[in-house]
Every structure is written in C-alpha cells, then in structure tokens.
Amino acid sequence: MTQAQIICGKTLAAVIDEEVKEAIASLHASFGKTPKLTVVVVGDDPASAIYVNNKVKRCRKVGIESEKLALDANIFQAELTQVIRDLSADPDTHGILLQLPLPNGMNAREILHEIAPEKDVDGFHPLNFGSFMAGSQDALAPCTPQGCLRLLKTVIDDFHGKDATVIGCSNIVGKPMAELLLQQGCSVTSVHHLSHDIEGKVRAADIIVAAAGSPHLVKADWVKPGAVVIDVGINRLRDLGDGKSGIVGDVDFEAVSKVASAITPVPGGVGPLTISYLLVNTVRAFAHQIG
C-alpha cells in the first residue's frame, strides 16, 4: 500500500518568513520605515483569540510591528465602524485585519467596507475581492487560498487541464480558491451542501481542496488514487468519552493518506500558510503606501 507525501506547512511557512524578512529589510533600507498591522478582535470567541495571538506573534517574528485591539462583545456597530475608520486614516497603520466572525447582530459586510482598500490585508473589501475575482494580479487576495496554492505548487509543476474540486463556497476560502485554480488552468468544480453527488465530483478530481468545516467529511473512497489533497478544515472535537478530541480537518487523514499522492496534515498544513500570506499581504500593502 502506498503512503502519500505529507506536505508540511510549517517548513514552507519558515521559507516564506525569510522572504518576508528580506522584503522588509530592503524596504527599510530604501524608506526608513517598518510595516505595522493592527488586528481588531471583537468579543471573546476562544478560537479567534488563539488565531489572533498566532497572527500577532508571527508578525513580530518577521519584523512587522503589530497591535491587537480587543474590543468588548457589546460594542455598538457604529463604535466599531469608527474604530475602523480611524485606523484607515492613521498613517502609522499599514494593514488592518478585522477578525471574523463578529458577535451576532453585527453586519460584517458593512464593517469590512469601511477598511481602506489599500490596508485590507485580508482581501475582503469588495474593491479588492472584485478585482481579484476579475483576474487582477495586483489586487490584495485572500490569504488562505494563496497559501493553499503555494502548498499545491510544492507537488504539482503543471496545473494545465487538471480537474480540481473545491468543497465549500465561502468568500474567505472556497470562491477565491476556485478562482486561483482557474487562473492556473485547471477545470474547477465547486461543491456545497446543495450539490448532487458530492462524492462523485470529488472522486473525479486530480486536486481536492476541502473547506467545508465538517470533520472527516472526505473519506478514502471519495479520493481518486494519486490525487493531491489540501485540507483547510479546523474542527474542534469535544471528547465524548471515545478518546477522540482535539483538532481535526475536513479529511479523514489516516485513510485518505493511503490513496492520495500528497496531503496536508491538520494541524501544521494550511494554517501556518494562511498567516504567511497575511505577512506577505501586509508587506505588499505597506510597499504600496510608502512607495
């Protein structure tokens, strides 16, 4: 029985950290300035707290100044909007990240529109998202799909004509992922909870990107032998007495790694790369603002 190559996100993230450090040093030499990212987190969602702390830590590691603004869950939308407007106008802040999800009752779309497009390091503002989806190479693009593509490029040289199936259609991952794979020359199928024969559509794919938020959704018999599998899922399992707890992906890793040619683990696969591209986008935004 064959065993898939494990695509290690941590190793690749360390390579990108070095690239980012070099870019920051060169911009500092030319302009005498350092990039700054401000991360805004509202409420006390425990998963968001961990993600935000990881983002702030990785920024500091590569030399991006970073600040966390932790706001009360009961803040009014108008107050949060003002915080975002002030950061958008602040010349010392080059990147703004509003951690999602927001507490119930807040309209994330309305608030994301308030981030100055040139500081929108998530690529969620409609101006950036629209120009990215229209094929612009200059737009700030969403981080997780960029990370997934970089992971895929470590094992695939030629994407032309490959069949890719993306599971999930969110604006954060699924939709922009499908667009990036199209740009590479793949034929792309997007599946979601209303799709018929999801298994068949996944089984037809040379490249599978699972971003459904459903633990162990993708089984070994959904996967064509030799396919490359990228697992975006981060699902927290509670210990129900069966000894299975902790974080698992959207893919049944043990079983699928006996069928696929390459696969990302959870944790240690896509997660570190999402933050890598946050760093890359922050430096791109900074270079654009000071240049």
Nearer to ligand GUN, 144 or 261 (CB): 144
Residue 97 interacting with ligand GUN (CB under 6 A) = yes
List CB contacts of 281: < 8 A, sequence separation 6 or more: 95, 121, 122, 123, 140, 141, 143
Tally Cβ neighbours within 10 Å of residue 127.
Answer: 15
Question: Interface with ligand GUN by CB under 6 A: which range of 28-36, 69-77, 94-102, 282-290?
Answer: 94-102
Give me the catalytic one of 17, 36, 119, 122: 122
Residue 170 labelled as part of a binding site = yes
Which 3 state secondary structure label does DSSP give 267? coil
234 is in an annotated binding site: yes
190 counts as binding ligand GUN under rule CB under 6 A: no
Tell me whether residue 36 is one of the annotated catalytic residues. Answer: no
Q: 20 vs 96, which CB is nearer to ligand GUN?
A: 96
Query: Is the distance from CB of 184 to CB of 149 less than 8 angstroms?
Result: yes
Q: Is 284 helix (H, G, I), strand (E, B) or coil?
A: helix
Nearer Cβ to ligand GUN (186/211): 211
Query: Residues with Cβ < 8 Å from 185, sequence gap 6 or more?
Result: 159, 160, 161, 162
Which burial class, exposed, middle or buried, applies to 2 when counting CB atoms under 10 A from its CB (0-12, 13-18, 19+)? Answer: exposed
Which of 20, 98, 152, 218 is in the footprint of ligand GUN by CB under 6 A? 98
Q: Of the candidates 4, 96, 106, 143, which one interacts with ligand GUN according to CB under 6 A? A: 143
Based on the shown chain and the rule CB under 6 A, indicate whether residue 169 belongs to the binding site for ligand GUN: no
Comparing CA positions, the residue from 144, 120, 178, 180 lying closest to residue 272 is 144
Q: Is 45 a catalytic residue?
A: no
Residues that bind ligand GUN (CB under 6 A): 97-100, 122, 143-144, 172, 274
Catalytic residues: 55, 99, 122
